[in-house]
Amino acid sequence: DGGITQSPKYLFRKEGQNVTLSCEQNLNHDAMYWYRQDPGQGLRLIYYSQIVNDFQKGDIAEGYSVSREKKESFPLTVTSAQKNPTAFYLCASSTGRNSPLHFGNGTRLTVT
Amino acid sequence: SQQGEEDPQALSIQEGENATMNCSYKTSINNLQWYRQNSGRGLVHLILIRSNEREKHSGRLRVTLDTSKKSSSLLITASRAADTASYFCATGGAGSYQLTFGKGTKLSVIP
């Protein structure tokens, strides 16, 4: 089945450590996205990538970094510079502009 | 940035009743999309309506769009317990990759 795989489902880290969240898709979509969701809130865009080797900052990019070396993969690193990293992180992909997003099932990151 | 805001924040209905959720936004859009999220899961795309469309149907879902009022509504008819979820609207601008999501409506359907 085609889809988006995020791993791990739950992640625990100590404050001050960088952590990388994995996102892989086999939908052959060009565009990929990372969103952050806090309790009772909507989704906020962290980064997006329109094509391999290219990515743009979203609304809340500070403290995060990404890479897009392969079409299928768009990993997100939460750095120690992110002041409030505990959240639910969602990866998505789409065929292009103004297209529906296909989401993974998320990674819940807890930093203590 | 454009932002959808859903209303009400929470809605509780009996199975078989209709559920209506509303979304308002602030600037011009290319399209408006509705998504469903079950607890602890990713979002699932339900329906997309373009700015030149007024109404769209998909199964038990009916979406309307009023660009003059910058608002949209999602109607779920004959609700089922399995419809219990949070529902989000998201707006996209012309030529944009970015979708801006509202905070969602939490729907509870009581069997």
Confidence label for B2 from pLDDT (cuts 50, 70 and 90): very low
Q: What's the pLDDT at A1?
A: 58
**Record: contact A94-B1, CB cut-off 8 A:** no
Q: What's the pLDDT at B95?
A: 79
Q: Is A41 on the interface with B (CB under 8 A)?
A: yes
Confidence label for A103 from pLDDT (cuts 50, 70 and 90): very high
**Record: contact A42-B45, CB cut-off 8 A:** no
DSSP characters over chain B: ----EEE-SEEEEETTS-EEEEEE-SS--SEEEEEEE-TTS-EEEEEEEETT--EEEETTEEEEEETTTTEEEEEE-S--GGG-EEEEEEEE-TT-S-EEE---EEEEEE-
- pLDDT, average across residues B1-12: 80
Tokens 């990713």 map to which residue?
B42
If you compute the radius of gyration of chain B from its CA atoms, what whole number of angstroms results? 13
- pLDDT, average across residues A58-72: 97
- pLDDT, average across residues B47-65: 97
A87: nearest CA in chain B?
B40
> Is pLDDT at B4 greater than 80 in this prediction?
no
How many Cβ pairs closer than 8 A exist between chain A and B? 63
Q: What's the pLDDT at B3?
A: 65
| CA pair distance A6, A75, nearest whole angstrom | 9
Which residue of A34, A49, A54, A98 to mutate against B (max B Cβ within 10 Å)?
Answer: A98
**Chain B residues with beta carbon closer than 8 angstroms to that of A6:** 42
Q: Which of A97, A100, A103 sits opposite B42 (nearest CB)?
A: A103
Q: What's the pLDDT at B1?
A: 45
Q: Is A102 on the interface with B (CB under 8 A)?
A: yes
Both tokens assigned to A68: 């897009």
- pLDDT, average across residues B43-53: 97
Half-sphere exposure of A80 (CA within 13 A, CB side): 5
- What is the per-residue pLDDT across A7-64, written as a single tens digit (0 to 9) for each? 999 999 999 999 999 999 999 999 999 999 998 788 999 999 999 999 999 999 999 9
- pLDDT, average across residues A93-108: 94
> Is pLDDT at A76 greater than 90 in this prediction?
yes
* CB contact at 8 A, A34 and A46: yes
Q: Distance of CA B94 to CAs A8, A19, B91, Å?
A: 35, 35, 10
**Record: contact A97-B104, CB cut-off 8 A:** no
Which residue of A25, A90, A97 to mutate against B (max B Cβ within 10 Å)?
Answer: A97
Q: Distance of CA B55 to CAs B74, B83, B87, B108, Å?
A: 10, 21, 18, 25
